């Protein structure tokens, strides 16, 4: 997928991407400072997890994947942001060469709010629980634990330092997910992707797609340094509680 000009979105969202210079700088400084300190503090844990993954199942410890996210346009008079693909880093939680067809089928049902198909794909779930399938056969034993504790996301601190992501923003989708979006869904991407976000602290995997879109768009309307700090602080107890992570 090539870059997508976000000026094609509804004017209210397109204008929201034209951040004032000071807010851009503050957000970036906060991202780099917090991510760098966090990466330094958790480096022993990262090494321990990497070794455990290699012992638990054959294959690399780090999993890379193409995601889609917004980034500032390099055109001097262009739109605030453009969508483009980037490489995301995660700890591997699945067997090597896991078949992606199950996830494609699940995302098609999730994006379409197809309750019947979702029920068949997640037979062990009840209303109010995570929309993810309960027993994904592709996930390793250690991978299931890493997901419950959200530890598989820690390598994305490097994405934040690189500038691919922010600490706070909408979670970045896969290219084939974006291909299923309509215009209103695209609006949730008109902000740099984040490690956590307003939708994540309001339900994570336990909310439907339309509600996630609504919350991500709401975040853009309320976006500020202090709102980002609030979301970061609320993320800590949420991760520790593991609510909505499974």
Residue with tokens 């049902």: 109
pLDDT of residue 41: 96
Element (H, E) at 34: helix 21-56
226 SS3 class: helix
Whole-number Cα distances in Å, 19 to 23, 165, 172: 7, 16, 20
pLDDT of residue 170: 95
103 SS3 class: helix
Residue with tokens 């917004």: 70
- Asked whether 111 and 209 are in contact (CB, 8 A), the reply is yes
Residue with tokens 């994540």: 200
Element (H, E) at 70: strand 62-72
Q: Which residues contact 19 (CB under 8 A, 6 or more apart)?
A: 27, 80
As a whole number of angstroms, the longest Cα–Cα distance in the chain is: 52
**Pair of tokens at residue 177:** 């997910």
pLDDT of residue 14: 44
For each of the chain's 246 residues, which pLDDT tens digit applies? 555 656 555 544 444 444 555 678 889 999 999 999 999 999 999 999 999 999 999 999 999 999 999 887 766 555 467 888 999 999 999 999 888 888 888 888 888 887 777 777 666 655 555 566 667 788 999 999 999 899 999 999 999 999 999 999 999 999 999 999 988 898 899 889 999 999 999 987 778 899 999 999 999 888 888 999 999 999 988 887 766 555
**Pair of tokens at residue 236:** 């800590």
pLDDT of residue 199: 93
Residues found in the chain? 246
């Amino acid at each position: 997928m090539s870059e997508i000009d976000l000026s094609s979105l509804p004017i209210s969202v397109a204008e929201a991407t034209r951040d004032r210079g000071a807010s851009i700088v503050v957000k970036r400084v906060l991202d780099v400072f917090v991510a760098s300190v966090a990466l330094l503090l958790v480096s022993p844990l990262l090494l321990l997890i990497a070794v455990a993954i290699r012992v638990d199942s054959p294959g690399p410890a780090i999993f890379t994947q193409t995601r889609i996210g917004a980034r500032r346009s390099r055109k001097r008079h262009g739109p605030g942001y453009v969508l483009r693909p980037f490489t995301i880093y995660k700890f591997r939680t699945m067997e090597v060469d896991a078949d992606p067809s199950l996830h494609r089928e699940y995302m098609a049902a999730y994006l379409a709010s197809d309750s019947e198909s979702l029920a068949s794909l997640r037979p062990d779930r009840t209303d109010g629980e995570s929309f993810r399938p309960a027993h994904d056969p592709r996930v390793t034993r250690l991978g299931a634990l890493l997901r419950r504790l959200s530890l598989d996301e820690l390598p994305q601190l490097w994405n934040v330092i690189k500038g691919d992501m922010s600490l706070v923003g909408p979670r970045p989708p896969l290219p084939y997910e974006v291909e299923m979006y309509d215009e209103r869904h695209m609006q949730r991407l008109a902000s740099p992707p984040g490690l956590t976000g307003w939708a994540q602290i309001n339900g994570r995997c336990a909310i439907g797609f339309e509600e996630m879109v609504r919350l991500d768009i709401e975040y853009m309307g309320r976006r500020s340094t202090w709102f980002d700090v609030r979301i970061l602080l609320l993320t800590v107890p949420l991760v520790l509680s593991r609510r909505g992570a499974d």
